[in-house]
Structure 1
Amino acid sequence: MRSLTLILASLLILTTAGCANNTEHSTTAQKETTYLTYVKTGDKVPVTQFVDIQGNSIDLSQSRNNKLIILFATWCHDSQRTIKHLTASDIYLSPNIDIIGVGREENNPALEKFAAEYELNFTLVADTDRSIYNQFANIGIPRLILLDADNNVVKTLIGESENAITEVVW
């Protein structure tokens, strides 16, 4: 019985570690255990311009909508679950919210395939070298960054919980 308990506890630890320490997709620096978020409520967002997977320039200052930036990876089960919950929520179709998905260590073809599979209708940006992600956090995906109309950080969430989308409230 003790052996079974230890095995189950080990599996629980591996399961709850989420996508933060996936050895196939992480670097030595990522294997830290402390989740750090580099932006806080009230901060200006550190990145305001992106190029999406179709080559279009995105400038956050051109929109007066609230924005939701999702830092994710296509291979991460927590990211996949969060995207599914997002597409089933009212947020997904809101005309007053701009959604930008930033694929951490992803390339355009992988994001195009993911967008087709999940039937996504929001902007996707490939962050092949983590240069965008590293301005927001050290480890942990998905990350949800809520911005107001002036591109100030309203809230940050680590989306590893069962339904982090319910916490997306401006």
Structure 2
Amino acid sequence: MRALTLILTSLFILTTTGCANNTEHAAVQQNKTEYLTYVKAGDKVPVTHFVDTQGNSIDLSKSRNNKLLILFATWCHDSQRTIKHLTASDIYLSPNVDIIGIGREENNAALDKFAQEYELNFALVADTDRSIYNQFANTGIPRLILLDADNNVVKTLIGETENVMTEVVW
């Protein structure tokens, strides 16, 4: 009975912390840190220039499309599920939406491998030191940030639910 209780408690902890890394997991458990989002609807996006894994410069102001920023990690099961749901959605092939994946604490090689494995057709940006991620949130991935054509935040979502893509509506 004690072993069953331990197993169930462990499963609960794992499911309530999402894809936090070990440091985040400890902070969430010790301090009951809540997931904070630093941008809200109506805000201008804090980052407008990126360099993708292929060395291409991305300037959000050059596009009049809506944009979907996905902050994720290749090792995170919630991120993997969200990417699979994205690639199966109408948004994935929409000519009116620019998608940019930002790999939190990821390098170019890991992101390129992930892009090949998941057959991704959008730019991936390595955020090796969390300098991009930290402008959007304190913890929790995947994060989806919806921007309008003027780069204003429309909505922010945490993709730890079964299919967060159903909530991606501008």
2:27 is aligned to 31
**Residue 27 of structure 2 aligns to which amino acid in structure 1?**
K
Give the TM-score of the pair, scaled to structure 2: 0.92
The one-letter code of the counterpart of 1:135 is: Q
Cα distance in structure 2, aligned partners of 1:6 and 1:113: 36
What stretches of structure 2 of length at least 5 have no aligned partner? Answer: none
Tell whether the 8 Å contact from 2:24 to 2:139 is kept in structure 1 after alignment: no
SS at match of 2:109: helix
| Cα-to-partner distance string for 1:31-76 (whole Å, 9 max, x where unaligned) | 2421000000000000000000000100000000000000000010
How far has the Cα of 1:15 moved from its partner? 2.5
State the shift of 1:17 in Å: 1.5
* Aligned match of 1:76: 76
For 1:4 and 1:27, the matched residues in 2 are separated by: 26
TM-fit CA distance, 1:16: 3.0
Shift of 1:128: 0.4
What CA distance in whole angstroms lies between the structure 1 residues aligned with 2:108 and 2:7?
A: 39
Counterparts of 1:68 and 1:163 in 2: how far apart (Å)? 16
1:111 partnered with 2:111: yes
Deviation, 1:90, is 0.4
Q: Which residue of 2 aligns with 1:86?
A: 86
Residue 136 of structure 2 aligns to which amino acid in structure 1?
Answer: F
Q: Which runs of 4+ in 1 moved over 2 A?
A: 1-7, 30-33
Structure 1: unaligned runs, 5 residues or longer: none
Question: Distance in 1 between the 2:128 and 2:157 partners?
Answer: 22
Residues of 1 paired with 2:94 and 2:63: CA distance?
A: 14
State the shift of 1:4 in Å. 2.9
Within 5 A, what are the aligned runs for 1:42-57? Answer: 42-57=42-57
CA-CA distance at 1:3 after TM superposition: 5.7
Question: Is this contact kept in 1: 2:37–2:137, CA < 8 A?
Answer: yes
Point out the structure with the larger helix share. Answer: 2
The CA deviation at 1:11 is 1.1
- In the other structure, the counterpart of 2:150 is 150
| Paired-residue identity, % | 84
Aligned to 1:136: 136
TM-score after normalising by structure 1: 0.92
Contact 2:51 2:58 (C-alpha < 8 Å) held by counterparts = yes
Cα-Cα RMSD: 1.7
